[in-house]
A and B are shown apart, each in its own frame.
Chain A
Amino acid sequence: MELDNLWEQTGEWLKAEGRDVDIVLSSRIRLARNIQGFPFVGRANVEEKKKILEYALQNIKKIKNLKDYIYLELHNLDPNDVYVLFERHLISKEHAGMEGPRGVFFKRDETVSMMMNEEDHLRIQMMHSGFHLAELWEKMDAFDDVLAAYLPYSFHEDYGYLTACPTNLGTGLRVSVMLHLPGLNITQQMDKVHQGLLKHHLMLRGYYGEGTVALGDFFQLSNQKTLGKTEKEIVTTLEHVVPQIIQYERQVRAHMLHQNYSDLLKLLRRAKEGLCRQKSLSTEQTMKHLSAIRLGVHLQLLPINIHKINHLFLFSQPAHLQKKEGRILTTEERDAARALFCKNTIENN
């Protein structure tokens, strides 16, 4: 199976390359699109969902130069593999948890993924490590143009691209960055950040996007409104606001380094011990420790390779652990396996 070779790589969004990658883990752009002549997914029965998949695939396959793409049908996939895809951010939590005919079409290097039959017929995503929104939008714009020539999109003169939920109407565009803000979170300044974002109509959410909690100082920042602004205006707003948050976080980190150096070292030591000396570790504990260690690595206080940290981020997640062990584990078994895996990875330099 294709996934067996694929799942061992770390994926685009954890490559640790690109602009401001010490704070912006990754940039992501998503477009919601529906195809004319079919009911939206939530209103479609099994037969109709099958037809949507068939029709979309048939037409996408006509596009030249779509090499290195993999198509997987989630309804025919091992349930743990579905969650492996979710943990890699190739599909959403909703898409993983849904039932019925649905699929994902993604580029082998994990920079492009197309969810089929999620809430909308198509959810097209592009990812890039680091802070690179403008470049991503350019790529997405061109890709969307090609798709539009093969698939008749549902479009309305006033409402723009029609989506199942009115919150995505218009451009169907969600632009987001995954931020690592340990400095601001530890010094309890996230409220201030949050308040500052309100006037820009931006929102901060958890590690896995909508409806999820923040794990280990990681936050997803994205636009709230999708209608009434051009795509470029939406991208520009984030391009303008994110550097301010980056600067704010850097100031706090510098302050910690100069004023609270011993506290900072204590925090890092505790995180490293927490990760290496436990018999059992939950996902939340692991993310918390990894977040502190990631901070230490970027402040050049810990001589650990950043790729090792990113590897742990992904492979300590439940479905990845189970994939590695080759079976479904109980929570206790998983926490034990995670603790051992973290210890071995960190200590084997």
Chain B
Amino acid sequence: MLCEKCQEREASVFFVEIKNKEKEQHSLCDVCSHQASSYIEKPTFSYSLHDLLNQFLQIITSKAKENIAHEAQGLVCDFCHLSYKDFQQTGRLGCASDYTIFRKFLDPLILNLHGKAKHTGKKPKEAKASLKYIEDEMQLADLQKQLKEAIAEERYEDAALFRDKIMLLERRMHGTR
């Protein structure tokens, strides 16, 4: 969609303006949206992400209202009892299952918000394998500190004990990684 103001660049900012109780939809490009201070509130960059989300919600609902209205509005989550209508009002989901139940309607919204709808970052599964290592690392740092203190205080029997523990721990850490 082209920007309504310059008719040149691709529109990237969409919002609804309420004028005399009438809704007016706007679509502007980055450049024009920034210049059009009368369109967009400009209180020292304090706009919130939630405002942005609400704008998207309004656009998506008005655009595809006829198609998805009946289907979406009737859906309610079994676990948290959130309806799609509740989500439209608050912008918040009620539980993890909502993402599966409302997926069809959430996908375009998420794509609009993030530009992508596929997670590429870390996963909790990978974390489990490395946990032991991290805990060992923390323990190792502790032991090394204790060893240093024992030597400083000339407690050589304790020091020997800590040294043995460190050796054992280091062997295990290298073996497990």
User: What residues of chain A have their CB less than 8 Å away from a CB belonging to chain B?
Assistant: 34, 36, 38-40, 42-43, 64-65, 119, 141-142, 144-146, 148-149, 152-162, 164-167, 169-171, 173, 190-191, 194-195, 198-199, 201, 203-206, 210-214, 219, 224-231
Contact = CB atoms under 8 A, between A and B. Distances in A.
A261 B90 CA distance: 52
Interface of B: 30, 34, 43-50, 52-53, 79-82, 90-96, 99-100, 106, 109-110, 113-124, 127-128, 130-131, 134-135, 138-139, 142
Contacts of B128: 148-149
A214 B44 contact: yes
Contacts, number: 166
Contact of A170 (B49, B50, B121): B121
9 contacts: A148-B124, A158-B118, A159-B119, A162-B93, A198-B30, A210-B48, A210-B49, A227-B113, A228-B120
A76 to B, nearest CB: 26
A146 B139 CA distance: 13
Among A166, A171, A198, max chain B CB count under 10 A is at A166
A211 B110 CA distance: 21
B101 to A, nearest CB: 12
**Which 7 interchain pairs have the tightest Cβ spacing?**
A228-B116, A160-B119, A43-B94, A149-B131, A145-B127, A227-B114, A154-B96
Contact of A165 (B53, B131, B135, B142): B53
Contact of B121 (A65, A194, A214, A231): A231
B114 A170 contact: yes
Given A154-B96, A169-B110, A141 B122 contact: yes
B142 A65 contact: yes
Contact of B80 (A39, A119, A204): A39
A212 B53 contact: no
Given A39-B94, A204-B45, A229-B120, A146 B134 contact: yes
A228 B115 CA distance: 8
B44 A173 contact: no
Contacts of B44: 190, 206, 213-214
A227 B96 contact: no
Contacts of B121: 160, 170-171, 173, 229-231
A254 B75 CA distance: 60
B122 to A, nearest CB: 6
A152 B130 CA distance: 15
Nearest to A144: B127
B82 A43 contact: yes
A142 B134 contact: yes
B114 A205 contact: no
A156 B99 contact: yes
A164 B93 contact: yes
A197 B167 CA distance: 51
A214 B46 contact: yes
B91 A171 contact: no
